[in-house]
Amino acid sequence: MLSRVAVVLNDTLAMFEFGVVCEVFGLDRTADGLPGFDFRVCGVEPGTPLRSTTPGITVTPEFGLGELAHADLVALPAAPIDRYDDRIIDAVRTAADAGAIVLTVCSGAFLAGAAGLLDGRKCTTHWRYVDQLAARFPAATVDPDVLFVDEGDLITSAGTAAGIDACLHLVRREIGTAAANGIARRMVVSPQRDGGQRQFIEQPVPECHSEGLSSTLAWLSENLTHPHTVDELAARSSMSTRTFARRFVAETGTTPGKWLTSQRVLFAKHLLEATDLPLERVADRAGFGSGALLRHHFQRHVGLAPTEYRRRFGASG
């Protein structure tokens, strides 16, 4: 049963991510028939104010790290990714070994990794940090596309609001749907979102060391509507087809066809957000040619259908 919740604060904390955990587990909603939690904010030195990333705000943990030993859930909100007190790392590891569930929000996954909890596990974090997380903890499998990953006794979530999804998921899993829905209703949020964090990621044109390739990418970005072949692009870059294909992968990390599709999806996202063009017209302007092809690639890249993306992110949404 999920009853005792301990939130661990490092020397600097992110207020929103900390607030997410407080909102789900820290407020007394028992008068509404919702579950109550023994909620404790913990730090290395209880009673000592800790800085936040928001200027002018400090938070003072009331409890010490010893509370983690008795917790059913240890929550790790976002914090700097490269600076952790060894005492916190040891306390988190000990709590996990004793059977506590560990839940991370955003960059809190790095603390879980420092405690050795990511090795051999699937996990996620904010899309800005996924490459760093994978590089620092190569024994982990980092999924950059999801809002959260449930590994049983370890739940990791992506950036900011994805922490709400992870917390409500845990309540649903451990206590039931009625409790999760009741908390979500009080928070005025969706009890369960679909899609993933792919829908929030921008994909700018990469900087290239090859001048010919750089100018070709810039030209392609301005001419997405037209069909293109590798031979044509190689000639524009003053390279042989073989050399162009090899340098393209080396510079961008992907093939010309995949890169072009991703840029077309990115432009389609812009059109869906900023215009009320019919879907077929969006498909034509983005270079897909048909609404069916747009829907296919958009769903694969973004995790949402174009119409649903427009409903959520469009100017009139």
- What would the pLDDT profile of 29-61 be if each residue is shown by its tens digit? 999 899 999 999 999 999 999 999 888 899 999
Count of Cβ atoms closer than 10 Å to residue 247 Cβ: 18
The answer to whether residue 206 is domain-embedded is no
Q: Is 151 found in the same domain as 35?
A: yes
Q: Which two tokens stand for residue 112?
A: 């879980």
pLDDT of res. 8: 97
The reply to whether 49 and 159 lie within a common domain is yes
Residue after which a domain boundary falls, among 138, 171, 200: 200
Q: What is the pLDDT of residues 144-156, one digit of tens each?
A: 888 899 999 999 9
CATH number of the domain to which 19 belongs: 3.40.50.880
Q: Is residue 205 part of a domain?
A: no
Same domain as 255, residue 166? no
| 136 & 68 share domain | yes
Residue 108 and residue 257 share a domain: no
Q: Which domain holds residue 275?
A: 211-313
pTM of the model: 0.68
113 class by beta-carbon count within 10 Å (0-12 exposed, 13-18 middle, 19+ buried): buried
31 lies in the same domain as 144: yes
277 lies in a domain? yes
* Residue 291 belongs to some domain of the structure: yes
Domain count, the chain: 2
**Least-confidence region, from 11-15, 101-105, 159-163, 202-206:** 202-206
- Same domain, yes or no: 108 and 223: no
For residues 73 and 218, membership in a common domain is answered with no
Instruction: Tell me the C-alpha to C-alpha distance, in Å, between residue 86 and each of 36, 83, 93, 182, 251.
Output: 31, 9, 11, 38, 39
Model pLDDT for residues 274-316, shown as the tens digit of each residue = 888 999 999 999 999 999 999 999 998 888 899 988 887 776 6
Same domain, 140 and 84: yes
CA distances from 260 to 57, 216, 232 (A): 45, 12, 14
What is the percentage of the chain residues whose pLDDT exceeds 70?
92
113 within domain boundaries: yes
pLDDT greater at residue 105 or residue 247: 105
- Count of alpha carbons within 13 Å of 94, Cβ hemisphere only? 12
Range with the largest mean pLDDT of 78-92, 219-233, 262-276: 78-92
Same domain, 153 and 215: no
**Could you tell me if 152 and 296 lie in one domain?**
no
